C-alpha cells in the first residue's frame, strides 16, 4: 500500500484533497506537523509520496512549498490537481448562543487557522468577527483541534468540514471564503511514480536562473517559448537566497517534456547561459477528474 505524507493533523484541506483524488484506492495517508516534515519523510523513504499545496485562487503561491521544492529537496513532481478550498467557521456552538437562542459571532475572541486560510476569509472576518484576534496555527485542522481542546475561551477556527466532524465541533458558518470559486492546486512529489489515469493535460515545471550581465535575458527566455507557441501557465520569481537581488524563475509550461518543441526551447535558453532545472513533467487533473485508475 502506498504511503502518502500530508500536512496534518487529520482533517486539513490537503487531507480532504488526498481522500478525494485517491478515493477507492487503498492508500495510507500519514499526517505530519509541517509541510517540510511531510516532504522530509518522502526524502527519507519513510513515505512514497508527499501531497503539498502549491497555489491558491485567492492567495496565489504557497511560498513555503515552492521554496521547499527549490531549495530543500530534489523530489520530482509526479502529478498536480485542483481541489476546492472550502473554509468554514468552526467552534463550539453553545459558547455563542445568546439567551434568546441566536448565534452571536461578536463573542468570538480569537480565530485560529493557517495563514493562507485566514487570508482567504478576510472579508468574512472583517464583517462578522469584529472582536476576534487572529492567530496562526500550523494548519487549519490544528486550529480546529486546539479550539476543541480549549472550550469556554471564545475560540473559533477556520477549517474544513472534515475537521469539524473529526474533532466533534460545530459549523458556526459554512463556506466563508471571500470568493466561492476558491481552489487550491496540489502537487504530488516523490521518486516513486504513482499509478494514475491518463490526463488530457500534461505540464512541465522548470526553474530558470538567468545569466548575470546579460541584458534582456528574460525577454530571450520568454521568446524561446513564444515563437514555438508553447503556452506558459505561470511564471514567478523567487529569491535565490544567495545574494540580494538574485532571483530564479519558477515556470509552469503546458505540455510534456516529451513533446517535439519543448526540449528545443530549453536548449535555446541554456545556450544563452541560463541554468535550467526540470522539476517534473506530469499529468494535470482538474476537480472533475479523479487521478486513480
Ligand atoms: O491547513 C490546511 O488545511 C492545508 O491543507 C494547507 C493549506 C495551504 O497552506 O495552502 C491548503 C489549502 C487551503 O487553501 C488552506 C491551507
- The ranges assigned to domains in the chain are 3-84+182-189, 88-173, 201-285
Q: In the chain, which residues have pLDDT < 50? A: none
ipTM over 0.90: yes
Q: Strand runs (DSSP E) across 62-221, as ranges?
A: 77-84, 88-91, 110-113, 133-136, 155-159, 170-173, 183-189, 201-209
Residue 197: predicted pLDDT: 84
Residue 221: predicted pLDDT: 94
Q: Which atom of ligand 1 lies closest to the CA of 140? A: 1
CA 11 – ligand 1 centroid, Å: 10
CA 65 – ligand 1 centroid, Å: 11
Site to substitute for ligand 1 among 33, 139, 159, 287, most atoms within 8 A of C-beta: 139
Residue 48: predicted pLDDT: 95
Architecture of the domain whose range is 201-285? 2-Layer Sandwich (3.30)
State pLDDT tens for residues 91-112: 999 999 999 999 999 999 999 9
Residue 185: predicted pLDDT: 96
Contact indicator for 92, 148 with CB cutoff of 8 Å? yes
Residue 146: predicted pLDDT: 98
Residue with cell 466533534: 168
Residue of 274, 278, 228, 276 whose CA lies nearest to 257:
278
Residue 83: predicted pLDDT: 94
Fold exhibited by the domain 3-84+182-189: D-Maltodextrin-Binding Protein; domain 2 (3.40.190)
Residue of 276, 277, 273 whose CA lies nearest to 217:
273
Residue 291: predicted pLDDT: 67
Is 88-173 in the same CATH topology as 3-84+182-189? yes
Contact indicator for 270, 258 with CB cutoff of 8 Å? no
Architecture of the domain whose range is 88-173? 3-Layer(aba) Sandwich (3.40)
Point out which residues pair with 109 in neighbouring strands: none
Residue 130: predicted pLDDT: 95
Cell of 284: 494535470
Residue 240: predicted pLDDT: 84
Amino acid at each position: 500500500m502506498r504511503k502518502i505524507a500530508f500536512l496534518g493533523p487529520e482533517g486539513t484541506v490537503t487531507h480532504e484533497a488526498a481522500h478525494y483524488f485517491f478515493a477507492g484506492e487503498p492508500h495510507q495517508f500519514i499526517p505530519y506537523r509541517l509541510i517540510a516534515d511531510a516532504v522530509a519523510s518522502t526524502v527519507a523513504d519513510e513515505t512514497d509520496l508527499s501531497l503539498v499545496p502549491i497555489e491558491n485562487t485567492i492567495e496565489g503561491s504557497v511560498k513555503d512549498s515552492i521554496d521547499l521544492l527549490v531549495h530543500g529537496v530534489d523530489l520530482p513532481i509526479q502529478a498536480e490537481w485542483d481541489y476546492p478550498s472550502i473554509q468554514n467557521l468552526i467552534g463550539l456552538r453553545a459558547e455563542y448562543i445568546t439567551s434568546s437562542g441566536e448565534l452571536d459571532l461578536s463573542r468570538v475572541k480569537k480565530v485560529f487557522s493557517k495563514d493562507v486560510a485566514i487570508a482567504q476569509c478576510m472579508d468574512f472576518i472583517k464583517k462578522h468577527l469584529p472582536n476576534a484576534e487572529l492567530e496562526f496555527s500550523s494548519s487549519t485542522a490544528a486550529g480546529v483541534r486546539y479550539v476543541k481542546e480549549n472550550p469556554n475561551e471564545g475560540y473559533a477556527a477556520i477549517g474544513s468540514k472534515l475537521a469539524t466532524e473529526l474533532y466533534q465541533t460545530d459549523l458556526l458558518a459554512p463556506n466563508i471564503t471571500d470568493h466561492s470559486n476558491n481552489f487550491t492546486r496540489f502537487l504530488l512529489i516523490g521518486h516513486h511514480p504513482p499509478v494514475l489515469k491518463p490526463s488530457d493535460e500534461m505540464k512541465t515545471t522548470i526553474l530558470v536562473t538567468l545569466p548575470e550581465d546579460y541584458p534582456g535575458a528574460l525577454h530571450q527566455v520568454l521568446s524561446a517559448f513564444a515563437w514555438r507557441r508553447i503556452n506558459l501557465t505561470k511564471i514567478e520569481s523567487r529569491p535565490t537566497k544567495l545574494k540580494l537581488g538574485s532571483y530564479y524563475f519558477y515556470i509552469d509550461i503546458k505540455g510534456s517534456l516529451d513533446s517535439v518543441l519543448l526540449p528545443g526551447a530549453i536548449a535555446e535558453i541554456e545556450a544563452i547561459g541560463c541554468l535550467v532545472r526540470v522539476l517534473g513533467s506530469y499529468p494535470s487533473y482538474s476537480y472533475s477528474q479523479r487521478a486513480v485508475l
